[in-house]
C-alpha cells in the first residue's frame, strides 16, 4: 500500500508540486508556460506532518487564515515569538551539492561561519527554482523533512534555545509546530552550532 508521503514523492518525480490544500492536495504540473492542476486524494495533512507522523514525532499543524506577509505576523498568529519561527534556508555548495541551515526568527546566517563549518571558500543561497527542485517545496514552506534526497542539515543553536518551534510544512500558509527536542531527535545527523552572525 502506498503512503501519502510516497504518493506525494511519486507525484514530484513527474514534475508535480504541491500548491494548496483543502481536504485534498492540489498539485500543479508545469510544462512551459502552461500549468495543469490535478486533485490528488490525500488527507488534510501537509507532507511534513505526514513524515513526522511516520517518525512518531508529536506535532500540530497550524494554518493561517490569510496571506502571511512578515515574520512578526506569522509568529503572532501562531501564538509564538519571532524567535520560535524557524526558517529552513538552502545553500548551494557547488555543482549538485546543497545543504540546509535551520535558523531562528530574524537571525541571519553567517556566511563566514558556514563556510568554515563546511571547509570551503565558496557557497551561495539556492535560487527559488533550485529550492523547489531540491526540496520539493516552494520558498516559504521549506522543511528538512520528507525531502526527495537527504541533505546535510545544520541547526543554529538559536533554534534549540526555544522549547517549542514552528517549521515549514511543505505548504505555504501552513506550519508544523513541535518541541525543539523532538526536532533534534528527528534529525540525528544534523550538526548543531553557531551559524548566525
Give 177's strand partners: 60, 166
List pLDDT tens digits, range 48-106: 999 999 999 999 999 999 999 999 999 999 999 999 999 999 999 998 899 999 999 99
| Burial of residue 129, with CB atoms counted within 10 A of its CB: 0-12 exposed, 13-18 middle, 19 or more buried | exposed
List pLDDT tens digits, range 160-189: 999 999 999 999 999 999 999 999 999 999
**The dihedral sign for the CA sequence 50, 139, 122, 161:** negative
List the domains of the chain with CATH numbers: 58-193 (3.90.960.10)
Amino acid at each position: 500500500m502506498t503512503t501519502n508521503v510516497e504518493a506525494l514523492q511519486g507525484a514530484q518525480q513527474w514534475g508535480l508540486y504541491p500548491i494548496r490544500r483543502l481536504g485534498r492536495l492540489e498539485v500543479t504540473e508545469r510544462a512551459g508556460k502552461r500549468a495543469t492542476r490535478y486533485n490528488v486524494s490525500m488527507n488534510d495533512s501537509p507532507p511534513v506532518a505526514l513524515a513526522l507522523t511516520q517518525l512518531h514525532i508529536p506535532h500540530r499543524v497550524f494554518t493561517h487564515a490569510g496571506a502571511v506577509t512578515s515574520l512578526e505576523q506569522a509568529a503572532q498568529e501562531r501564538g509564538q515569538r519571532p524567535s520560535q519561527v524557524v526558517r529552513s534556508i538552502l545553500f548551494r555548495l557547488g555543482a549538485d551539492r546543497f545543504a540546509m541551515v535551520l535558523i531562528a526568527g530574524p537571525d541571519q546566517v553567517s556566511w563566514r561561519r558556514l563556510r568554515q563549518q563546511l571547509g570551503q571558500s565558496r557557497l551561495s543561497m539556492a535560487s527559488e527554482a533550485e529550492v523547489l527542485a531540491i526540496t520539493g517545496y516552494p520558498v516559504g514552506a521549506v522543511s528538512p523533512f520528507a525531502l526527495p534526497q537527504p541533505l546535510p542539515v545544520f541547526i543554529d543553536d538559536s533554534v534549540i534555545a526555544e522549547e517549542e518551534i514552528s517549521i515549514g510544512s511543505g505548504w505555504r500558509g501552513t506550519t508544523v509546530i513541535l518541541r525543539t527536542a523532538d526536532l533534534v531527535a528527528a534529525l540525528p545527523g544534523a550538526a548543531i552550532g553557531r551559524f548566525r552572525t
